[in-house]
Each structure stands twice: as C-alpha cells, then as structure tokens.
Amino acid sequence: MTADRQPNFHAWVDESMRSSRDNSSENFYLLAATLISPEDDDRIRSLVRRLPHRGIKLHWRDLNFRERTAVSESIAQLGLEQLIVAFGPFGSVNKQERARAKCIERAIWEANLLTVSHFVMERREENLNKRDRRLIDALRGAGKIPRDVWVEHEDPANEPLLWIPDVVLGSLGPAIIQHEEGGNPFLPNSTIVWVPGGA
C-alpha cells in the first residue's frame, strides 16, 4: 500500500472465521478493511449496487462460481486498497471473540498509520456490538489505539460499501490461511498482516 495520501480515508470492515483445509480443528479469524476516500463513497457505492446479488445485499456465499468471478474482477478493477488482518490458528470456536478483539486492535492501529480516520464495521447482534464498543473504549484507555479514530457499526443491508470486504475475504481468505495468495485479483492492492500468537 502507499502511504503518501491525503488523510481521512474510511475503512469499511468485514470479518470471516475459517478452518484450515488440512486440519479442520485449526481455525483462523480474518478481518478485511477496504480503504475508500470519502469523496469516492457515492460513486463506488453506486457501482457496487449494480453488481450481481440476491436479496437486499451482496453476500459471497450466495453467489455461484460465475458470479463470484465477475464480482471479484469488477471490484478488483476499482484498485481499492485492502488491509487484511489474520489471527490463528486456534482451536475452540468459543475463542472467536478473543481472536476478533486481537484483529480489531491490530487493524485499527494499522489503518490509522495509513491515514484512516473512520472505521466502519458490519453490524452484528446488539450484545456483540456492545462488546466491540467496550473493547474500543478499553483500547483507547490503554493507549493501544488512537483516540481520534471514529469507530461505528453499520448494517450491510443499507450500506453496499460493506459488501466489498465480504467479497475480498470470500475471494482471498482461503488462500491466505493456506499461504497460497498468488494470482488473486485483490493481491496487488492488499496488505496482509498476521497477528502473532494463538487464541
């Protein structure tokens, strides 16, 4: 990624938990942040809305092979920068929230270094959103993330920009955990950061 940009980019964030292809008891947590300049939001939002999708939002798992290929190529051609934070392997799926916390902490820190001022995560159940907000407050209080980074949750049904990291993780995620990223259309504009340690 380039660092010589004007500040105040926004990061649109989605997550995925996956199991290793070789060992189903090994889990990985991935968090993708798509970096977009606010002045480009409406233009890109309009483009993404026109991509093939079923129902009220685009979701990678709902697409067939041909649709996945077309959607990936269309989004990759936009040349948007992607920050992907990976954590694992870890065993029990009950440790998913700890893995998420590690990824959020690292992603916000890395995104801030890339002049991101606004961090928008996909909305989950309200008790889980509250868990995220408590985490953010704790990280700010401990000085582990900058105090001036704004973090919020949005519903992907209402915000097509959150469809982009979903597609990025759907396309690139399996290759990341197998360390076989070569040839993926998102790779040239992606920074992949592994958080050390297991959960």
pLDDT recorded at residue 163:
98
Give whole-number Cα distances, 169 to 8, 24, 93, in Å: 24, 19, 19
Q: How many other CB atoms sit within 10 Å of the CB of residue 132? A: 19
**Long-range contacts: 181-189, Cβ < 8 Å, 24+?**
185/72, 185/73, 185/76, 186/72, 186/75, 186/76, 186/82, 189/1, 189/76, 189/79, 189/80, 189/81, 189/82
Is residue 1 a part of any domain in this protein? no
Would 98 be classed as within a structural domain? yes
Pairing of strands 116-122, 190-195: unpaired
pLDDT at 64 over 90: yes
Q: Where residue 188 sits, what CATH number does that domain have? A: 3.30.420
List the domain range (segments joined by +) for residue 69. Answer: 9-195
What percentage of the chain has pLDDT greater than the value 70? 91
- Of 14-18, 93-97, 99-103, 123-127, the one with minimum mean pLDDT is 93-97
The Cα–Cα gap between 146 and 132 comes to 16
Residue 3 lies in a domain: no
Instruction: Supply the pLDDT for residue 7.
Output: 55
Indicate the pLDDT class of residue 55, thresholds 50, 70 and 90: confident
Nearest-angstrom CA–CA distance, 160 and 78:
15
pLDDT of residue 138: 95
Report the run of H or E that residue 175 belongs to, with start and end. Answer: helix 163-177
Count CA atoms within 13 Å of residue 146 on its CB side: 17
Residues 17-31 as b/e (b if ≥16 CB within 10 A, e otherwise) read bbeeeeeeebbbbbb
| Mean pLDDT, rounded, of the chain | 90
Percent of residues in the chain assigned helix, strand, coil, to nearest 5: 45, 25, 35
Average pLDDT over every residue of 62-82: 96
Q: What is the pTM of this model?
A: 0.91
pLDDT tens, 150-194?
A: 999 999 999 999 999 999 999 999 888 887 767 799 999 999 999
- The pLDDT of residue 198: 60
* β 81-90/27-36 pair status: antiparallel
Asked if the structure places residue 85 within a domain, the reply is yes
Mean pLDDT, rounded, for 9-25: 84
The number of domains in the chain is: 1
Contact (CB, 8 A) for 16 and 117: no
Residue 89 phi/psi, 5° resolution?
-80, 155
Q: What is the mean pLDDT of residues 78-92?
A: 92
In a domain, 99, yes or no: yes
Is residue 2 situated within a structural domain? Answer: no
